[in-house]
């Protein structure tokens, strides 16, 4: 996942679009997620 610039939104991206670096993880509960503005269906591949 990645945070969108100037936004509180996060997106889910395929692994080949993610830079390799030390993760700065914040663990959140699934109940906190709000799903909106979905593009496409299914998985990447």
Express each pLDDT in 4-45 by its tens digit.
667 777 666 665 656 667 777 788 887 887 777 666 555 555
Question: Beta strands 10-11 and 2-3: pairing type?
Answer: antiparallel
According to the model, what pLDDT value does residue 1 have?
A: 55
According to the model, what pLDDT value does residue 18 have?
A: 62
Q: 11-45 burial, b if ≥16 CB within 10 A, otherwise e?
A: eeeeeeeeeeeeeeeeeeeeeeeeeeeeeeeeeee
Beta bridge partners of residue 2, listed in sequence order:
11
Structural domain spans, the chain: 1-45
Cα separation of 26 and 40, whole Å?
26
């Amino acid at each position: 996942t990645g945070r969108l610039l100037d936004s509180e939104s996060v997106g889910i991206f395929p692994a080949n679009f993610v830079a390799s670096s030390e993760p700065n993880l914040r663990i959140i509960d699934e109940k906190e997620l709000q799903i909106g503005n979905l593009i496409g269906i299914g998985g990447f591949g």
